[in-house]
Amino acid sequence: MLLPVRWLGGMDDRAGDEPMRAIVSEEAVGRSDEISFTRADAAVTNAPDKEQCPLPEMTSDTADAASEIPQDPRYGGTLWDNLKRPDLWLIFLMFICQSALGVIVVYNASTISVALTGRKRSQQTSALYTAFFGVANSVGRVCMGMFEAFVQHQPPNKRRYLVTLALPLSPFLAAVAGTLLLTIPGEAILLPYIIIYFEEGVFAAVTALIFPSLFASHHGVYYNVGFLTTVISVIGFNRFLFGFVVDAKT
């Protein structure tokens, strides 16, 4: 006996009986629980078979709460099912048509500038177009990313704007820039170039965001196919259309 005082953590001679008392009390509690369980089982078995507990009915509040849960508006199904939808092919067709002007201008900026202004090709002009392309393209991507973040931070029950609203933006900018290239004098050619460079940034961001916004799965497949539309534009418009026109004029 090291500490005889109990409130200091020690034990006295009477402490030897306390473990036995604790064991006896635990056995008594266990027996009382068994008795209560057997009585409950007996009451359940003696109940008539036809009596069933009524199930809770769905109230109007529960139905309203279920209807207020936001549903996923994206297309589901397999890859083959989505390939049968005209929406997907219309998006690919839009990519081909609106990327044609961007591909031609970005890859042939110096040639178009010489044709419209009548000045000789220079490294300063090429460097200027390259710098504006990098800045305007980055601004277009950032603006589209900010719009997507704004759409995602809307309240789930009060979504007024969707990412798909940005789909007509790139074709509209391409149409405006193409009209300016055909109408304005050569000295102001930098303005439609900046619009086209900005449009290319928006188009790149839309290509990355539109498929996860419309389809529930297979985003990588749709993105790769959408990226191949640029290859079609390069071969079809840049090589066979613009290239043949330049070769015929020179």
Tell me the CATH number at 213. Answer: 1.20.1250
Residue 59 falls within a domain, yes or no? no
Residue 244 falls within a domain, yes or no? yes
How far is 127 from 116, CA to CA, in rounded Å?
Answer: 18
Low-confidence ranges of the chain (pLDDT < 50): 1-3, 5, 7-9, 15-19, 24, 29, 34-50, 63, 65-66
How far is 16 from 11, CA to CA, in rounded Å?
Answer: 8
Count up the domains in the chain and report the number: 1
Residue 66: per-residue pLDDT: 47
Which tens digits make up the pLDDT trace of 115-156?
888 888 788 888 888 898 899 999 999 999 999 899 888 887
> In this structure, what token pair is assigned to residue 87?
């929406």
Residue 63: per-residue pLDDT: 47
> Which residues does 189 contact at the CB level (< 8 Å), separation at least 6?
112, 113, 116, 117, 181
Is 207 within 8 Å of 174 (Cβ atoms)? Answer: no
Residue 52 falls within a domain, yes or no? no
> Which residues does 9 contact at the CB level (< 8 Å), separation at least 6?
3
Residue 27: per-residue pLDDT: 53
* Phi, psi of 185, deg, nearest 5: -70, 165
pTM score, two decimals? 0.66
Residue 14: per-residue pLDDT: 52
Residue 176: per-residue pLDDT: 92
Residue 157: per-residue pLDDT: 80
Residue 186: per-residue pLDDT: 80
Residue 1 falls within a domain, yes or no? no
Residue 47: per-residue pLDDT: 46
DSSP character at residue 118: -
Range of the domain at 177: 79-249
Residue 26: per-residue pLDDT: 53
Residue 135 falls within a domain, yes or no? yes
Residue 182: per-residue pLDDT: 87
